[in-house]
Amino acid sequence: MAMSSQSFSAMKSQRPIAARTRRRRSMQPGEQVALWVSRIVIWCVIVMVLLPMWFVVIASFNPSNSYISFSLFPSNASLANYKALFQGGQFWTWVRNSLVVGVVVAMAQSFITAMSAFAFSKLRFYGRKYGLMTLLLLQMFPNILAIAAFYTALAKLNMIDMLGSYILVMLGTSAFNIWLLKGYMDSVPKELDEAAVIDGATTWQRFIHVTLPLSTPMMVVIFFLTLVGIFSEYMFAGTILQSPWNYTLGVGMYNLISGQFAKNWGEFAAAALLSAVPLAIVFAVAQRYLTKGLVAGSVKG
C-alpha cells in the first residue's frame, strides 16, 4: 500500500513536467522565433531604460564632476560627491522638508479627494452630472498659469518663503484622482449604503465606516502618486520658497547645477540617487495595496 501511494505521488509530480514537455514540443518554428524575438526586444527595452540610470550612478562616483561619461565603469571612483553633499547638512534639510510637505499634502489631499469622490459617487445634488467634468476641463490648463495669482495673494498676506504657505498651495485636489476614486467607489455595492441608512447611519458615518475602509487600496495609490508628485515638484516650490533652510529637494537640487561658473553635476547625481530612497521604501511597504488598487481601478464593477 505504501509503494502504491509513493508511485502515485511520483506520477502526480511528473505530470506537470510531461505537460510542459508536450507544450514545448508542440510549438511551431515560427512561434519559437516570435518568442525569442519578443524576449530580445524586452531585454533591449530594459537596457535602454536602465542605461541612463547607470550613467547617473557613474556620475555620482566620478570625482571630476562630469555628468557625461563614455565609460560604463568609473575609472577613479570615490565618495567625494557624497561627502560634499552631506557637508553643512543642507541635503538632510531638503529631505526633511520634502518629507514633511509630501506626507502632509498626500494625507490631506487623499482625504479631500475621498470626500469629493464620495459626494460624486454616492450623493445626489444639483450639478453632480457636469461638476466633475468641469473639474477635469479646468485641470487641462497648465498649473503655471496660476503661479502669478498664488504669488500675489501670498505676498499680500506676507506668507512668502514659508513651508506652510507651500503646503496650503499644494492642497488643491487633483480632478484626475477624484475621477479615479469615484470609479472605484462606484464598484462598492449600494446595498451596503442602503443597509447603513436603514440602521440609522448619517452620510458622514456612511463615508467613514462603510465606503472609506473599502476604498483603502485606491486611497494608497492616490497617496503614493501625490507623494511622488510632491517630491518632483519644482515650479511652485521655486516660486514660494526662497531661503535655503526652506528648500525642498527639487529646489535644492536645481541650485546645485544652476550656478553660472560652477555646476555640481556629481553632487546632483548623488542627490538624485539618494532622493529616490524614501519613495522606494514607501513603494516597498505599500506594494500590496498599490497592486490591488491599480488592478481594481482598471475595471468597472
Q: State pLDDT tens for residues 73-125.
A: 777 778 888 888 888 778 889 989 999 999 999 999 999 999 988 988 888 88
Q: Please enumerate in sequence order all residues whose Cβ is within 8 A of that of 66, keeping only pairs 6 or more positions apart, or say none.
A: 59, 265, 266
Burial zone of 207 (CB within 10 Å; 0-12 exposed, 13-18 middle, 19+ buried): buried
Locate 74 and state its grid cell.
568609473
Residue 1 reports pLDDT greater than 50: no
pLDDT at 2: 44
The answer to whether residue 300 scores a pLDDT higher than 50 is: no
DSSP summary character for residue 172: P
pLDDT tens digits, residue range 254-270? 888 876 656 788 888 88
The string of pLDDT tens digits covering residues 195-232 is 888 888 888 999 998 888 888 888 888 888 888 888 88
Q: Which three cell numbers stand for residue 165?
A: 504657505
**Distance of CA 257 to CAs 22, 100, 101, 194, 241, Å?**
59, 24, 23, 58, 18
Prediction pTM value: 0.75
CATH 3.40.50.1970 for the 84-296 domain, yes or no: no
Instruction: Give the domain ranges of the chain.
Output: 2-60, 84-296
Q: Are the beta carbons of 248 and 229 closer than 8 angstroms?
A: no
Cα first-last separation, the chain: 51
How far is residue 97's CA from residue 90's CA, in Å, rounded to a whole number?
A: 11
Res. 301: pLDDT tops 50: no
The arithmetic mean of pLDDT across residues 147-175, rounded, is 88
* Average model confidence (pLDDT) across the chain: 80
